[in-house]
Structure 1
């Protein structure tokens, strides 16, 4: 808080500071006995009619009455990072978008409208990296029309918690009745520790796990994938949106065959797709990795519930990370739901840390069919 030379707390923010990161102290209205003040840090997204709206890193909005302000100041736009590779929000947003490529897209100024028959909100939402080239209400009306023409609900993906994220846009969407349905986080880390986190491949000694790598999501892989009824469009999104060798990111799928989840498991651990399962059983574990320049993005890491806590997720990620290192990547990212404590613990041990949160806002009063619900 700002303290004057006389030792008094001072409010040193005004309405001109909307859009900046601030730290404020205000009188507590409903706090525990003995606690008179509340401190809030976040982006000042509006200051209207005597009420400040401050958006915290995770996307939560806090309303503070102007009359309750005790102190306030502008603070640096983003805190110093302690772990993980340096990266801007825009770089990561573009890399993540290429990992979930839509089958159809259109530009609206600096916004990208994306559609893929409803498979994942990431491939069926607007990515607003800049100005749409028209007033916001006109842009949102155009967005709603574009998705309605495709029989899809209109979603806008925004982010909070890093320099260059869209706290102000999220606040404007909420003001217009858009509903935030999903919040997740994008985590980053160095790639080499991920490659070292799992056991050696089968044949490398006791404790090895057989992980098969393939360029395609075959029937065995899909048998473990938690989203049932995967369509041809979904397979295009999972495969990166373009055939191998014709540009775009390099996509790999990993499978631990049923029965291949411990010492002495058989298999080559090579690059062929294999059958991935024994007797039609779903694999013990699967994963997906998208290599894009220096980045390797991990997704769909899923393990048979009966085989969890045996290191299979680490083995899958390690095998994919080794392949990504071979292709020249050095940094890693992944997306995880904000309340998935088990995944947070696993990724934290591998050296990942949260970079920013992202949110999907749905247009109000939409009667269009929903997507598959994934972030």
Structure 2
């Protein structure tokens, strides 16, 4: 699903930096305008160099510096290359034999349109919003994202404006979760970790949580939401499309060749 239009470079950079603030790696360094990020290998977003802006040196030297930084941190070098902004970066990495993870769509929606597209579901259990996640919230996320190292908790709780959504059944069992964070000069609402327990799927719980997060975001000064979803996750892409999300831009997470 290509972007509906080609967004200006400044707009892509602003959104990517807002997303970085919403998912901040504990270890970060700058390479000119690029960001180098490490977080105990938990998620590609927090463990890749964000190639936006000017790295303040020739491109090949910038890639060399990325490789050296990640090697010094004991991690495989990764580069997050937003498209079409980072097309030259991708071309240079192709020439070096770097691999690529599945294409990720960065999708956006205006909050009024989003809440209008998502129905109120009074028959479902209410969405609870908390300032911090509980152990079972973390456990549900770990089922999808793998074991959570200490860096994961720091990433998830670091933003100043962050919320953890959850839906429970009558016995207190967790049915669905989600996370929202408002960051950036433009007050973007970042939606992430929208998950439903396997036995509770196809009941509209994900849309139920998404609506609650959108309302929370509006209350915290946001007018637009974004999320990141792999293009190959067709069911999630379809769900978000029905809610009003469209693709703003895409990115590839590039991987250095195995040593």
1:1-375 matches, cutoff 5 A: 79=5, 88-161=11-84, 165-200=85-120, 206-225=122-141, 226-239=144-157, 241=158, 244=160, 250-257=161-168, 259=169, 278=172, 281=173, 283-292=174-183, 293-366=186-259
**How does the TM-score come out when normalised to structure 1?**
0.63
Question: Alpha carbons of 1:195 and 1:357: their partners in 2 closer, same or farther (altered >3 Å)?
Answer: same
Cα distance in 1 for residues equivalent to 2:239 and 2:40 = 32
- Offset at 1:131? 2.2
SS at match of 2:94: helix
- Per-residue CA deviation, residues 4-36 of structure 1 (Å, 9 max, x unaligned), is xxxxxxxxxxxxxxxxxxxxxxxxxxxxxxxxx
Structure 1 residue 199 displacement after superposition = 4.8
Gaps of 5+ in 1: 1-55, 59-77, 82-86, 245-249, 261-276, 367-375
Instruction: Give every structure 1 segment of 4 or more consecutive aligned residues whose post-TM-superposition deviation is greater than 3 Å.
Output: 78-81, 196-201
Cα distance in 2 between the residues matched to 1:200 and 1:221: 23
TM-score w.r.t. the length of structure 2 is: 0.90
Look up the SS of the partner of 2:104 in the other structure.
strand
Aligned-partner SS, 2:248: strand
Structure 2 gaps of 5+ residues are none
Mean Cα deviation higher: 303-312 or 130-139? 130-139
C-alpha separation in 1, matches of 2:69 and 2:98: 16
Structure 1's 158 and 325: CA in aligned 2 closer, same or farther, altered over 3 A?
same
Evaluate the alpha carbon distance shift between residue 183 and residue 210 of structure 1 in structure 2; reply closer, same or farther with a 3 A threshold: same
CA distance in 1, matches of 2:2, 2:215: 33
The structure where helix makes up a greater share of residues is 2
- Give the match's secondary structure for 2:42: coil
2:103 aligns to what SS in structure 1?
strand
Cα separation, 2, equivalents of 1:216 and 1:79: 37
Distance 1:230 1:237 in 2: 11
Paired residues of 2:131 and 2:164 also in contact (CA < 8 A):
yes
Count of matched residue pairs: 253
